[in-house]
Amino acid sequence: MSFIGAPLAGGQPIPGVEKAPQAMRDGGIANIIHSLGWDFHDVGDLDVKGAIAAGSSEMVQGVKNCEQVGFANKLVHDAVKCEAAKGNFVLTVGGDHSIGSATITGMKAVYNDLSVIWVDAHGDCNTGNTSPSGNYHGMSASHAMGWFGLGLPGFEWLQQDVTISDSRLAFIALRDIDENEKKLLRSSGVAAFPMYDIDRWGIGSVIDMALHRVNPHGNRPIHLSFDIDSCDPTIAPGTGTCSRGGLNFRESHYICETLALTNNLCSMDIVEINPDLDTQVPGRMHGDSELITTPLQTVRLGQELVSSALGRSIL
């Protein structure tokens, strides 16, 4: 498998999220992956700083730092595409969720029948015309689905042929949605399962329904885009946009475990882990993996979720 560090923080205003790839390395991610029987190829951190330096920080079409984020995301897109073309499982660690448009389109360039499970408290479905903040990390899903159209400066690489259709993407764990996002989601063909559905049906039924929508015959490759703020702040405090009432520990793991069992999961991004906002692990529990060495609670959860997506199971 290929590990890509994507330390992009320019899609939102809170610094620290760019430190997550190194925090995952320092916390033992290579040892965890080796223990599951995978080879581990660390591509390294992409030169996001260099890409940003080459671009303008101007707001364009309602998108802050538009060209800078676009140039940085081109690096992510190209790296994901390159590693996927080798037949590797691709794990991309952000950075903020701006990279979602680049990881999806990078995989779509290799797997034309790609399907996507997007786990997030937020819809990330705004466009520049609807976003109340102008932060691109709240627009990356809509861009990956082609809702922006073409011509956004810095994003010339994001062409229609690598976007994904609405019917191939399902959201899970939504609970903090802007009013304009609601309208966009309701008028689209996207499958959206907010926390209400998890409360009503349980996580098992929700993931089954989501998979049936995006991969009804079980024969399409799956990309998992996992925003750590989908988890409740009691288990994932180290993120920039906390929202009450999120996934609990077992629900978040169940999603990853179930996708691993499909044998269709080919890539994953995990984003919005901010070590600067994180807290210490409250205490070791019996059964905790000795391979995970980070003292930070949210970084640890990220490590554990990746391990579940790569096949770690209880039995």
Q: What is the pLDDT of residue 257?
A: 98
Q: What is the pLDDT of residue 40?
A: 98
Tokens of 148: 């922006």
> In what side-by-side order are the strands of the sheet with 41-45?
41-45, 2-6, 90-94, 265-271, 222-227, 115-119, 169-174, 191-194
Any domain includes 201: yes
Q: How many angstroms separate the Cα of 133 from the Cα of each of 64, 80, 153?
A: 9, 28, 19
Q: Tell me what pLDDT residue 284 has.
A: 81
Provide the pLDDT for residue 315.
87
pLDDT for the residue numbered 286: 85
| Region 161-182 average pLDDT | 96
Q: Is residue 114 part of a domain?
A: yes
Residue with tokens 């951190």: 45
Assigned domain for 314 exists: no
Residue 126 lies in a domain: yes
Report which DSSP code applies to 246.
Answer: -
Give the residue-averaged pLDDT of 40-62.
Answer: 97
Number of domains in the chain: 1
Q: What is the pLDDT of residue 287?
A: 82
CA distance linking residue 134 with residue 113, whole number of Å: 31
Model confidence pLDDT, tens digit, residues 110-159: 999 999 999 999 999 999 999 999 999 999 999 999 998 878 999 999 99
CATH of the domain at 249: 3.40.800.10
Rounded Cα distance, 115 and 113, in Å: 7
The pTM (predicted TM-score) of the whole model is 0.98
- Mean pLDDT of all residues in the chain? 97
- Residue 283's SS3 state is coil
Please report the pLDDT score of residue 283 as a whole number.
83
pLDDT in tens, 254-295: 999 999 999 999 999 999 999 999 999 988 888 888 899 999
- For residue 95, cis peptide bond before it (omega within 30 degrees of 0): yes
d(CA 10, CA 225): 19
Give the model confidence (pLDDT) of 64-106 as tens digits. 999 999 999 999 999 999 999 999 999 999 999 999 999 999 9
User: Which residues, including other chains, have CB under 8 Å from residue 19's CB and lie 6 or more apart?
Assistant: 7, 274, 275, 276
pLDDT band for position 236 (cuts 50, 70, 90): very high
Report how far apart the first and last C-alpha atoms of the chain are (Å, whole number).
23
Task: Give the catalytic positions in this structure.
Answer: 97, 120, 122, 124, 137, 227, 229, 272
Q: Is residue 213 in a domain? A: yes
Is 140 part of any domain? yes
For residue 130, give both structure tokens: 């609807």
**186 confidence band (pLDDT: 50, 70, 90):** very high
pLDDT of residue 198: 98
Residue with tokens 């997506």: 309
**DSSP assignment letter at 137:** G
For residue 107, give its domain range: 2-309
In a domain, 315, yes or no: no
Is 9 within a domain? yes
pLDDT of residue 238: 98
State the alpha helices, DSSP H only, in 86-139: 100-108
Average pLDDT of span 176-180:
94
- Give the model's pLDDT for residue 150: 77
**Identity of the amino acid at 203:** I
pLDDT digits (tens, 9 = 90+) for 78-89: 999 999 999 999
